[in-house]
Chain A
Amino acid sequence: MEPAPKRNDLDGPPGSLAKAAGDAPPPAACNAPPASPPSEAALIALLTECQLPLGLYVRSLMPGDAAAHDVLQQANAKIWEKRAEFQLGTNFKAWALAVARFEVLNYRKQQARDARLVFSQELEKTIAEELEHADDDLMQRHQALQQCLQSLKAESRQLLMHRYASAEPLSQYAGRVGRSVSSLKVTLFRLRASLAECVERRLRVEGGPQ
C-alpha cells in the first residue's frame, strides 16, 4: 500500500522550517531499500522514518515496561553504531528491527534478576514477523488521532496529555484535580477505548489501510 501523500497544508512549523520542507527531497519510507550506498544523511533520514515502526516494535515486545523508551534509544544508538554493517539491497526496516530485537533481549539479560512478565519466544517471533511486514499506517493514524482529540472535552484531553507527557505520578495529579486515582484510571481506560474506536472509524471513512 502506498503511503498517503504527504500533506503540507497544516499550520505547521514556523517559516524557516516550512521553507526548508519545500526544498528538501521527500523523506524515504522506512522500508524502502536505498538505491545506492546511502550517505550518512540518507541513513539518518531512513532511521528517522523508522522511528515509529521501531518504537512500535520495541513496545510490542515490552508492553507496559517504562524502560521501552531507553531500549529504543539504545537500539537507535546501536543501529547508528553498526550502520556500516547495513547491507545494501536489503531491507533497512528488517535490519533495524533485528538490531532492536537484540537490544530488547540484551536489556532483559541485564534485568534478569528483576524479571518482568515476558512473552513466550513463539509469540515474540510472531509479533516480529507481523510488524516487519505491516504497512506503516502511523501517519494516517496520527492525523486521525489529532482530529479525534479535538472532539474531546478539555479536561479529558488534559488528563490524557498529562498521563502521557508528565513525570508527575497520577496520584499527585489526582490530588490536584480533586479526584481519586481509581476514578482517573477508569476515565483513562474509557478515553483510550473511545479514542481507539474514533481512530478506527476515521480510518475506515478516509479509506485508510485496513
Chain B
Amino acid sequence: MTPAERSRLIDSLLDGEISEADFLRIEAELLVDSDVRAEYYDRLKLQLLLEREAADDAEAANHAEATASRDATTTEAAVGRADLPTRRAAYLLTAAALLTLAASLLVILPRIVPSDADRASLPAGPLAATALPAESKAKGFALLGGQSDAVWDGPAVESGSLLPAGTLKLISGLAHIELFSGVQMVVEGRAEFSIESPMEVRVARGRVRAYVPDAAKGFRVLTDQGEVIDLGTEFAIDVGAAGTRVDVLDGEVELRHGGSEAQRVLGGQSQRLTAAGIKASTDSGEVSIVSPQEFHRSLDRRLVERVQRWQQRMASLRTQSDPIAYYRTDPADRWSRRWDNIARLEAEDGGGTETLASDGAIVAARRTPDRWGRPDAALDFSRTGSRVRVDVPGQYQNLTLITWVKINSLDRWYNSLFLTDGHERFEPHWQMMNDGRLFFSVKARQRNQDGAAAQHIFYSPPIWDASLGGQWIMLAVVYDTDAQRVTHYVDGKAVSREAIPADHLVDTIRIGAASIGNWSEPMYRTDPEFVVRNLNGSMDEFAMFSAALSDEQILNWYQAGNPHE
C-alpha cells in the first residue's frame, strides 16, 4: 500500500465512507504498523480539532450577531439569549476556558438520571449525531444545594441533583444553587433564571443573593437591563420589570448598561439598573434575602423540628390500632444489622408479643440518607441480594402495610416490597410491576386446585413512572375482610379499591418467614411466574397492622411523615 493510498483510506475511514474491503485492508495495516497508527491518531486529532474550530467559528458568528442585535435594540429577550452559545474561541489555552468547557461538557450531565431509559432513547445514527454538537453548546451547570418550600414550574428538582439546562422557574420558596465555579446563590421565588455557564447566570425576574469566591471573580448576572459583574465577594439583586436593584453587601461589583461605561459599586452601596441607565437606588432598606449559610442553618433547624414532630406523631399513630411491626432505621447506629421492630420494644413493656413480628435482619442492604436527608437513616436495597428478613408468627383477619420508599427504577419485572417466602396458602405478596402498577395478593388456595386461580391479584393503575425516580413516596395497602375489599394508597390517597371475590376471601392471613425489599428462595421452584428480585430503591420505614386502617388513618400517617412540605 502506498503512503498516499494509506492516507486516502484513513481519510475515508474517518469520514465514515469506507467500503468493507478497504476497511479490512486498513485494519490490517493498522494492526501491524505503528507508523500507520501514528498517522491514524494524527488524523483523528485533526478531525477533532477541526470540529472544535468549526464549533467556535459558528459561535463567534452567533456572538457577533447577538452583540449587533443587542446594540441595536439595547434590550434582549432572555429566551432568545438562552439559545445562544457561550463558548468562546481560544479557550483551550486559558483557565477561563476551562470553566466554559466544563459548562459545555457538563450540560450532558443532567441526562444521566434515568440512565437506562435514557440510553434506550439515546439518539443514534448520523442524523442525531450531526445535530448534537449544535445542541450541546453550553447552557450551564450547577447543583441544587438545598431548597426550602420550593415550588418549581415543571418537574421537581431534588436537592443535591444537577439543575437542568434552560430556563428555570421557581414559583415560590428558596433555592440554594451551587455553581461549579464555586459561586453560591440563593434564589427566592417567584424567579425566572437560567444558568448559562458556571460563570454566567441570566435572571429575568426574582431576588438573588450571590457569594462569589476569589476563584470565580468575574462571575456575572445578566438581566434585561444590563449586567452585574462581581469583582469579589457578595451582592444581592432584585430583578423586576421596572429594573434591577443591586445591593453590594461586601466587596465590589461592576454594572454595565448597553454601550455606556461600566460603573463600579462598592460594598454598602445600592444602585438601580433600568432601561434608561444606571442610577442610585432610592429604595429604602435592603434587598432582603438570606445568605447561603443562613439558608442552610435555618434549613437544619427546620429539619430537626420536623423530624421531632414526625416522631412524636408517629408514636401515637402507630399504637392506635393493632401494630404487628413498625420498623424504622436508627441513624445513630449505622453498623447495626438489625431493623428494630419498635412495636415490639414498646409491647415488651406491657407484655404480649406473641403476635408481633420479629426484629428484622438486614442482609446486604446498605445505609443511605432517609427522606429527611439524614445520613444512614434508610436502607438501600439496590445491591443484589439485599433484603430484610422477618418472621411474623400470628394469624390475622385483616392486614395493613405501609412503607416510605424511594424507587430508583422499576427495572425488574417484579419489584419487591414485602413478600412471604415462596407463596403458600393464606400468604400475602406486595410488590410493584415494571409498568408502575402495585400488586397485592393473598393466596386463597393451593395452586390448580379445582382448576381455579390460586389467588386474585389486586392491581392498582400505574402509579409510578420515571418522573418519580429518586423521590420518596408513601405506599400503603389495606386488606379489609369486613368490607371485603382491597385498597391501594399512594401518598395517603386511595388510588384503587377492589372488592375481594367471595371465593378468594381469606380471614386467616399468615405470613411466617418473609422478606422486605426482596423475595426469598421459593419453596417450589416450578412456579415460572416469579423470579427473585430485589427492589431497586430505598426504604426508611415499614409498618404492618393486623387491622384495616381507614382512609383517614392512612392520610394521617402520610401527613405526619411527609418530608415534602
Residues of A within 8 A of B (CB): 6-8, 10-21, 23-27, 40-41, 44-45, 47-49, 51-52, 55-56, 59-60, 63-70, 73-74, 76-77, 80-81, 106-107, 110-111, 117, 119-120, 122-123, 126-127, 130-131, 134, 137-139, 141-143, 145-146, 149, 160-167, 189, 192-193, 195-196, 199-200
Contacts and interface: CB of A to CB of B under 8 A. Distances in A.
A23 B215 contact: yes
B259 interface: no
A199 to B, nearest CB: 6
Given A7-B93, A149-B53, A65 B16 contact: yes
A4 to B, nearest CB: 9
A16 B49 contact: no
B41 A117 contact: no
B94 A13 contact: yes
| Count class of interface residues, chain B | 35 or more
A26 B11 CA distance: 36
Contact of A59 (B44, B88, B98): B44
Contact of A20 (B12, B47, B216): B216
B287 interface: no
A64 B17 contact: yes
Given A12-B93, A74-B119, A189-B11, A52 B48 contact: yes
B128 interface: yes
B93 A77 contact: no
Most buried by A among B99, B125, B133: B99
A19 to B, nearest CB: 4
Interface stretch (B54-62, B274-282, B352-360, B412-420): B54-62
Interface string B37-52: 1001111111111111
Contacts of A189: 8, 11
Interface string B93-133: 11111111110011011011001000100111111111111
A21 B181 CA distance: 12
B483 interface: no
B199 A117 contact: no
Contact of A161 (B53, B130, B133, B218): B53
Given A13-B91, A68-B129, A117-B20, 15 more contacts: A13-B88, A17-B218, A24-B95, A44-B102, A56-B41, A63-B44, A66-B16, A66-B129, A69-B136, A130-B34, A134-B41, A161-B57, A164-B51, A164-B53, A192-B50
A205 to B, nearest CB: 16
B45 A80 contact: no
25 contacts: A6-B93, A11-B90, A13-B94, A17-B88, A17-B96, A17-B199, A21-B96, A23-B217, A24-B99, A44-B106, A59-B14, A63-B44, A67-B129, A70-B128, A73-B108, A76-B108, A77-B111, A110-B119, A120-B27, A130-B37, A130-B41, A142-B92, A143-B93, A164-B54, A165-B58
Given A40-B180, A60-B40, A161 B93 contact: no
B199 A192 contact: no
A162 B181 CA distance: 33
Interface string B203-243: 00000000000111111100000000100000000000000
Contact of A48 (B8, B105, B124): B105
A142 B56 CA distance: 12
B30 interface: yes
A12 B44 contact: no
B92 A20 contact: no
A141 B44 CA distance: 12
Contact of A123 (B27, B100, B133): B27
A145 B50 contact: yes
B18 interface: yes
Contacts of A137: 45
B348 interface: no
A99 B58 CA distance: 31
B512 interface: no
Contacts of A149: 53
A108 to B, nearest CB: 11
B214 A23 contact: yes
Contact of A17 (B13, B44, B100, B133): B100
A161 B216 CA distance: 33
B51 A165 contact: yes
A111 to B, nearest CB: 7
B75 interface: no
B15 interface: yes
